[in-house]
Amino acid sequence: MPSGDRINGEVMNGGLKRSPRFWIGVASRQHVLLGVKEGFAQLCHGKAQPLKRMAKGDWIVYYSPQEILGEKRPCQRFTALGEVVGERVYPVQMAPGFTPFRRDIRYLPTHEAAIHPLLERLAFIKDRRHWGYVFRFGHLQIPEADFRLIAARLSGDNKEEN
């Protein structure tokens, strides 16, 4: 889990000091694991704008609704956590006609954590019956308290039905 001092520290963004922000990215578990292995974030099928919303020193946690994109096997787990370390958003050609954008991330070693035990405690989940709705855009900012709760579960500090 990220240390409290590092999360609470101010970061520079264009010469202005600001506190880090906390984000959720949504991607299949398979895609998240590739990003962790190679040290990058890629969001919303490779769009640049969600990555541009983040700044160096921000934190991202990934939620994976499914194991593999396009398959029906659900995952419904938080699958990775990392700090934005790169200043730039950059394109990478993955295939002819597909050049997604990425941003460098320093991922921390974690354990995956099921979302269901956390649903009642996450403030960004407003509708407990339709909790998956908040993930529909693929990228969202969350309160620091929610990030810390998820980070504790990912680090194994608060194990309940992981």
Please give the Cα distance from 88 to 90 (Å, whole number). 6
pLDDT for the residue 159: 52
List, in order of start, the domains of the chain with CATH numbers: 4-9+22-153 (3.10.590.10)
Secondary structure (DSSP) of 141-152: EE-HHHHHHHHH
The residue written with tokens 């998240």 in the block is 32
**Six token digits for residue 146:** 């929610």
Residue in 122, 154, 115 with CA at minimum distance from that of residue 2:
154
Q: Are 132 and 11 in contact (CB under 8 A)?
A: no
Span 26-61, pLDDT tens digits = 999 999 999 999 999 999 999 999 999 999 999 999
Span 82-140, pLDDT tens digits = 999 989 999 999 889 999 999 999 999 999 999 999 999 999 999 988 999 999 999 99
**CB neighbours of residue 93 within 10 Å:** 9
Return the amino acid letter for 8: N
pTM over 0.95: no
**Six token digits for residue 144:** 């620091």
